[in-house]
Amino acid sequence: MIRTVLTRAAGYGTPAVFTAEHPGSARGYRGGETGYPFRLAMTAEIRGGLGVSSELDRLYRDIITGVGEDPGREGLQDTPQRAARAMQYLTRGYRQTVEEVVNNAIFESDNDEMILVKDIELYSLCEHHLLPFIGKCHVAYIPTGRVIGLSKVARIVDMFARRLQIQENLTKQIADTLMAAIRPAGVGVIIEAQHLCMMMRGVEKQNSMMTTSMMLGSFRDHDRTRSEFLKLVRN
């Protein structure tokens, strides 16, 4: 049983704290069911229990054997260890928290115009097939007295992307987290990505692109704000 502690900001007021328990899961994000925003405070079971282990090495060795290969041959002797390290890197978002990623890089500002970070490279793993999806993320917000460090927007994207994901949830998690971190007037997030799970298997459609969006606050409520965001992204 892994315990996660989530904080839910009640509107723009004081965060309410609650604990959720879910067996066999190490997902670093369990929000979204009741609106935004959610933040994760990882417990020691998650943060300390996901190091590279001999158990993960063994499982990769079993996979190699299961597909009909010999894990003892020269080219595959160290593959289980390498694959385990690679998987740990590709899922390192489970071992990060919003607090660590943002690192207090929130600053006072009297700017109240839209701030947009475009074309953030994004690499994630489809939680259904463990195959990559690759694309770019556009994040915009309208500050209300506070702005966040530029690199922290990209780090938030990476933190959630480096987990087993579906693009729909990833888009919402990024938007919810930014909304919680600086409480802006609104947040807009768009992700455009290609999914290898439908490019190299299944329907094998090589030119397909999936686009998802999440609009919160003024981006959802005001057509002009949303239109400005979409125009800036397209340009």
pLDDT of residue 179 exceeding 90: yes
- What average pLDDT does this structure show over 188-204? 95
200 with 118, same domain? yes
pLDDT of residue 5: 36
79 with 116, same domain? no
pLDDT of residue 136 exceeding 90: yes
In angstroms, the Cα distances linking 129 to 37, 135, 168, 169, 202 are 28, 17, 16, 16, 11
Binning pLDDT at 50, 70 and 90, where does residue 33 land?
Answer: very low
31 with 81, same domain? no
Domain edge (last residue) among 60, 90, 120: 90
Global pTM?
0.77
Which of the residues are catalytic?
126-129, 167, 195, 197
pLDDT of residue 10 exceeding 50: no
pLDDT of residue 61 exceeding 90: yes
151 with 229, same domain? yes
pLDDT of residue 174: 98
Asked if omega into 80 is within 30° of 0 (cis), the reply is no
pLDDT of residue 54: 82
In angstroms, the CA 20 to CA 46 distance is 13
Q: What angle do CA 177, 133, 216 make, to 5 degrees?
A: 25
Cβ proximity of 174 and 160 under 8 Å: yes
121 with 221, same domain? yes
157 with 177, same domain? yes
Cβ proximity of 120 and 154 under 8 Å: yes
Among 25-34, 45-54, 153-162, the minimum mean pLDDT is found in 25-34
pLDDT of residue 27 exceeding 80: no
Among 45-59, 69-83, 152-166, the minimum mean pLDDT is found in 45-59
63 with 137, same domain? no
219 with 149, same domain? yes
Binning pLDDT at 50, 70 and 90, where does residue 30 land?
Answer: very low
61 with 103, same domain? no
Domain edge (last residue) among 31, 65, 90: 90
H-run or E-run covering 15: strand 15-22
pLDDT of residue 205 exceeding 50: yes
CATH of the domain at 201: 3.30.1130.10
Sequence letter at residue 148: I
CATH of the domain at 56: 1.10.286.10
Per the structure, how many domains does the chain have?
2
Residue 72 in 3-state DSSP? coil
H-run or E-run covering 67: none
Burial class of 47 by CB neighbour count within 10 A (0 to 12, 13 to 18, 19+): middle
- What average pLDDT does this structure show over 55-79? 95
151 with 37, same domain? yes
105 with 172, same domain? yes
Average pLDDT of the chain to the nearest whole number = 83
86 with 98, same domain? no
Binning pLDDT at 50, 70 and 90, where does residue 52 land?
Answer: low
Binning pLDDT at 50, 70 and 90, where does residue 132 land?
Answer: very high
pLDDT of residue 196: 93
Residue 120 in 3-state DSSP? strand
Expressed as residue numbers, the domain containing 24 is 2-45+92-234
pLDDT of residue 20 exceeding 90: no
pLDDT of residue 235: 85
Neighbours of 81 (CB within 10 A): 15
pLDDT of residue 37: 40
